[in-house]
Structures are given as C-alpha cells and as structure tokens.
Amino acid sequence: MTGNAEIALACASLLADELARGGVEDVCVSPGARSTPLALAVARHPRLRVHVILDERSAAFFGLGIAKATRRAVALVCTSGTAAVNWHPAIVEARYSQTPLIALSADRPPELHDTGANQTIDQRGLFASAPLWFFEMPVPAIEDDSERVWRSVAARAVAVAAGPPAGPVHLNLPFREPLAPSAEIPDLGSGREGGAPWERHSPAALAADAHPIEDLARLIEAARDGLIVCGGLEDDAPSILDLAERIAWPLVAEPQSGLRRDGALSAPQLILDRIDPSVVLSVGAPPTSRATRALLGRAGRVVTVDPSRWNDPDRRSSWTLRADAALLADALIATIKPREDRAWIERWRAADAAARDAADTLMDSWDEPFEGRVARDVARAVPAGGLLAIGSSLPVRDLDTFMAPREDVWVIGNRGASGIDGFVSTVLGIAQTGEPTVGLMGDLTFLHDAGSLAWLASRAKPAVLVVEDNGGGAIFDLLPQGSIREADDLFVTPHELSIEAIARAAGCRTRRVTRAADVAEAVAEAVAAGETTVVHVECARTAGPPRRAEIAAAVAHVTK
C-alpha cells in the first residue's frame, strides 16, 4: 500500500532528478533515519554519485572541496538534529568563497516540533545569513501540483547556488513516518522533455557597460606608474595578463588567482614595500598579505573590480566596478593602445627577478626544512594539470611569497572565511576530480580535521597531504601575540602528537622528510604511489623567524 514512506521517496526522487538535470553530480550523504527518503532517492538515481561520510562536518567540507574544484554544485544530505548543525562551517566558507552547495536537511514534521520529540530542533534558518536561499519544503503528499512544487524548488536551488554570485542554499525537508518504503513507489511525473531542467535560468550578463570602461581606460592611460593586484578568482582570467602587458603595469597575482604565471611578478611580496603606485586596479578577492594591503593604502587611487562583492576591507577603494574580471580585461584591451614607455614595468621586473634570485639562493643553502621553501618546492612538485590545496595560516602566506610562476597548476584554498577547520576533508574532496592533488597545511590544521582522515582515507580517491610540523601555530610567533607571556599555552599550543602515528592509524602511507632538499622528491613519489600519503615535514619552530629576517635582509640588499 502507498504510505508516507513511498510518497516521501517519490517526492524526494523528483528533487534528486531535478538536481541531476541541473548539473549536480556528487552528493555527500551522512547516515541517519529521518533522511531515508533523500538518501534512497539520490542513491537510486543513475547519474548521481553518492559519497557516504559519517561526520557531517567532514561531509560538508568534502563536498565543498568537490564544488571548488569542479565549479559544479554539490548536494549534502543528513538527518535531523545536531547532524545538520555540523555543516555550518563549510556552509559559511561556501558563502564567502562563492562555492555552490545545496544542503538538504531532513526534519521531523511540524506536529512533532516543540513537543520534546526525539532529535528534533528548530532547523529553520539554521545557518542564519550564510545561505543565499532558505526554503522549508512541505511534508511530501500526492497533490496535483506535487511534481511542479518539488521540481521547481530543486531547479531553483541549483540556479541560486550556481549564481552569480554562487553560494550555498539550504532546503529543510520534513518527513513523516514510516520512512522505509516497502511497496511500489508512485510515479509523480517525468519532468520536462529531453531531460531538460524544470526551469531554465538565465543570469544577467556581467560585462560592464561601455561608459565606465571608457572612463577606466582613460584613467589607466594617464597613469604610467600603476599596478594590477589580483586576489583569488573563481574562473580562469588569462586576459588580465595580456592587459598588464599592454598597459605596462606590473601584475601582482596571488597564487589563487591562477595568474601567477610568466608575465606576472615572480616574488612580488618581497618588493612590494618599495612600490608607490598612483593607481591600483584590485581584482578578485581582497589580498591575503599585509604587504599588499599596505600597498593599497599607499596607492593614490584604488579601483576595485568584482561582479558582486564589496572587496575593500580597508576602505581604500574610490570606485567599485561591477564586472567579470576577464570580460573587463578584454574590453580594456580593445580600447587601450599598447603603452610605449615601459620603464616602470621593466624597473619592477628587474627588482622582482633580483629578489627572487636572492631569496632562492639563500633558501637553497639551508639544509633543514623552512616553511617558505617547503611552499615553493611543493608548488613546483605538483604534476602538470594537478591541483594544489593550500591551508590557511603560514602555508597560504608562504605560497604567496615564494611560489614561482607556473600556469599548469590550479591553487585552491579555504579563503572565504580563512578557517583552519575541515581542511583534510576539503583536500580529499578536491582530489575527487581524479587529477593529482596535493594539500599543504600546518600541523594544527591537520590535527583539527584528523578524524576525517580515518573515514576518508580508505574511501576517497587519493591525495597527498603535506604537513609542515613546526610544533603548533607558528604564525603566532610572527604576530604580536607571540611576545605575550602566555603565548605558548594560549596561542601556539605546541603538542606531542605524532602526525605519522595518526596518519598510520587512519590507514595512510606516511613519509617523513627531515632535509629541505627532499621535499619535492617526496611529493612526487607520493603522487606516483596513488595512495593517500601524509608527507610529514619536520620544521624547527625556532628557525622560522630568524630565517624570514635573513631573507628580508638579503632582498633589501640586492634591490636597493
């Protein structure tokens, strides 16, 4: 007999089918009874890939990693209660990094709320302002409009998550018992013809209109001594390199922009404090490093470019231009003649090359691993076409300072909210693309999400996790907190935990590196092994700060 379980699965199947029609391919499911209709619907759909992950926090970060690497929305499924609350950090990261996620939380039906019913909490608006859209589904029922309601909500969830701006969506889905089907599932409709989505969605064009482009072109032409600063970008925008070349402005590209390639400065962080540009074009996410932020503070004028965000934490911008970076660069290239006077860009290119050379020579003379060189060498060791997931804290800053230009590696970080949480899961999610994936992270970042490794190491496609073990949060040694009497207890938190023992307990291969020169080979060997491998790099905590000072002194000397 058709009862609640069969009706719920029929409705959930409409939802699952519409997600697949909208381009969703991966669903991260965590076990639980209330979500039975959702779990069965996605698992029985021929085109959805289901990843079953015990810990919802890990599941959400794993899905986040897949979504970051594929730019396709990933769906999450879990049961009612605290289960869904564990998604929150990844949903926040998705919001601030514009990553498409569709969170499907199962719930008790309305009549069980506020009665003391088991595992029942108020899930409406659970993620506060983080989702781009929250919607409470009706309890499944067979009505004339069942197909329209379930398919159109799913189609809209995919459209909102895809953006622009992309981001997370939360659907809360109450189900009434019984939940496990035992009879035939009713067919509530087969959707639009030809497998088309229920509703086509055409987002507004993101090209800036002609007037601001003309104004910006004149501003650029008038400034001989400008600079382009490019933070993280979601999409490939190589025309920014062409623009920089044409207008003869140096390009300061963070690795996550995908533009740290030939033509961009190679080690801009080492020389930025000497540049005083009259105009800065700031593209993509706001800069990670203090030096770049200080540069924006000194610039005569800052123009910010982004399709939707207000990327101006220090309130330096005098013009926010709503445009897609690549489209804007194309439009400017079509409007601006190549600049003949190249003295400004050549001067900074020469300083940049000298700084890069001095830093490399010095770092190569050190035998013990130093975090800056580890970042440089790991970035070099990722195979062509591979992905480099970069952890927050020192790794992301060191990569920005020391990564040499490369165009065949894609760098992804959790820089929307810059948490150190969920990073192991994110790296393994990124690895589900099947491309070689290397994650570089600090020891605390690894430990924060070590539990996820136990579950995922044997289930997910492999990744290489490079852990810089410097005995705690070494970044605090470089911050004012490092000189507080309680610095070790409250901030750095040194520990006696064995990274390798934890990795082995999770079933991973391990490799210990104690010599700086071995990092690249260890990464290459781990990639080739095709099994999830933790490369444990021992970095002496006390060695870092004096080495950073030595590099600064060497660079100051050659570029004076």
Ligand X SMILES: Cc1ncc(C[n+]2csc(CCOP(=O)(O)OP(=O)(O)O)c2C)c(N)n1
Q: Which residues bind Mg ion (CB under 5 A)?
A: 442-443, 470, 474
> At closest approach, how far in Å is the CB of 140 from Mg ion?
49
Instruction: Name the one range near ligand X by CB under 6 A: 14-22, 149-157, 278-286, 413-421.
Output: 413-421
Q: Does 303 bind ligand X (CB under 6 A)?
A: no
Pick between residue 162 and residue 467 the one whose CB is nearest to ligand X: 467
> In this chain, which of 394, 409, 465, 555 binds ligand X, going by CB under 6 A?
394
Pick between residue 181 and residue 473 the one whose CB is nearest to ligand X: 473
CA atoms within 13 A on the CB side of 367: 0
**Residue-wise DSSP of 121-139:** ---TTTTTT-SSEEEEPPP
**Nearest partner of 363 among 555, 557, 558, judged by Cα:** 555
> At closest approach, how far in Å is the CB of 371 from Mg ion?
8
> At closest approach, how far in Å is the CB of 378 from ligand X?
13
User: Which of ligand X, Mg ion, none is residue 227 near (CB under 5 to 8 Å by kind)?
Assistant: none
User: Which of ligand X, Mg ion, none is residue 419 near (CB under 5 to 8 Å by kind)?
Assistant: ligand X
Pick between residue 396 and residue 430 the one whose CB is nearest to ligand X: 396
Question: What is the token pair recorded at 363?
Answer: 């770092």
**DSSP-derived 3-state class of residue 8:** helix
**Residue-wise DSSP of 237-264:** -THHHHHHHHHT--EEE-GGGT--SBTB
Cβ neighbours, 10 Å, residue 336: 17
Q: Does 188 bind ligand X (CB under 6 A)?
A: no
For residue 234, which amino acid is it? E
> In this chain, which of 86, 418, 481, 559 binds ligand X, going by CB under 6 A?
418
> At closest approach, how far in Å is the CB of 419 from ligand X?
4
User: Which of Mg ion, ligand X, none is residue 266 near (CB under 5 to 8 Å by kind)?
Assistant: none
Distance from C-alpha of 469 to C-alpha of 442, rounded to nearest angstrom? 6
Phi and psi at 538, nearest 5°, equal -85, 115
Cβ neighbours, 10 Å, residue 3: 13
Cβ neighbours, 10 Å, residue 438: 28
**DSSP-derived 3-state class of residue 182:** coil
> At closest approach, how far in Å is the CB of 474 from Mg ion?
5
Q: Does 419 bind ligand X (CB under 6 A)?
A: yes
Instruction: Name the one range near ligand X by CB under 6 A: 27-35, 334-342, 418-426, 546-554.
Output: 418-426
Distance from C-alpha of 334 to C-alpha of 220, rounded to nearest angstrom? 13
Question: What is the token pair recorded at 82?
Answer: 């605290």
> In this chain, which of 97, 282, 392, 532 binds ligand X, going by CB under 6 A?
392
Q: Does 285 bind ligand X (CB under 6 A)?
A: no
User: Which of ligand X, Mg ion, none is residue 445 near (CB under 5 to 8 Å by kind)?
Assistant: ligand X
Q: Does 425 bind ligand X (CB under 6 A)?
A: no
Q: Does 325 bind ligand X (CB under 6 A)?
A: no
Question: With CB under 6 A, what is the number of residues at the site for ligand X?
Answer: 16
Distance from C-alpha of 35 to C-alpha of 171, rounded to nearest angstrom? 13
User: Which of ligand X, Mg ion, none is residue 93 near (CB under 5 to 8 Å by kind)?
Assistant: none
> In this chain, which of 18, 55, 225, 421 binds ligand X, going by CB under 6 A?
421
> At closest approach, how far in Å is the CB of 467 from ligand X?
9
**Residue-wise DSSP of 20-83:** HHTT--EEEE---STTHHHHHHHHH-TT-EEEE-SSHHHHHHHHHHHHHHH-S-EEEEE-STHH
Distance from C-alpha of 399 to C-alpha of 253, rounded to nearest angstrom? 11
> In the stretch 432-471, what mask flags binding to ligand X with x, by CB under 6 A?
----------xxxx------------------------x-
Q: Does 6 bind ligand X (CB under 6 A)?
A: no
Pick between residue 425 and residue 445 the one whose CB is nearest to ligand X: 445
Pick between residue 322 and residue 541 the one whose CB is nearest to Mg ion: 541
Question: What is the token pair recorded at 335?
Answer: 């409007």
Pick between residue 17 and residue 477 the one whose CB is nearest to ligand X: 477
SS (H, E, C) 518-530: HHHHHHHHHHHHC
Q: Does 307 bind ligand X (CB under 6 A)?
A: no
> In the stretch 471-510, what mask flags binding to ligand X with x, by CB under 6 A?
-xxxx-----------------------------------
Q: Does 413 bind ligand X (CB under 6 A)?
A: no
Instruction: Name the one range near ligand X by CB under 6 A: 241-249, 361-369, 417-425, 518-526.
Output: 417-425
Instruction: Name the one range near ligand X by CB under 6 A: 26-34, 271-279, 414-422, 498-506.
Output: 414-422
- Answer yes or no: are the C-beta atoms of 302 and 445 closer than 8 Å: no
Distance from C-alpha of 226 to C-alpha of 230, rounded to nearest angstrom? 13
- Answer yes or no: are the C-beta atoms of 303 and 318 closer than 8 Å: yes
Please give the helix or strand (H or E) that residue 156 lies within, else none: helix 146-162
Question: What is the token pair recorded at 544?
Answer: 């870092």
For residue 482, which amino acid is it? G
Cβ neighbours, 10 Å, residue 487: 18
Binding site for ligand X (CB under 6 A): 392-394, 418-421, 442-445, 470, 472-475
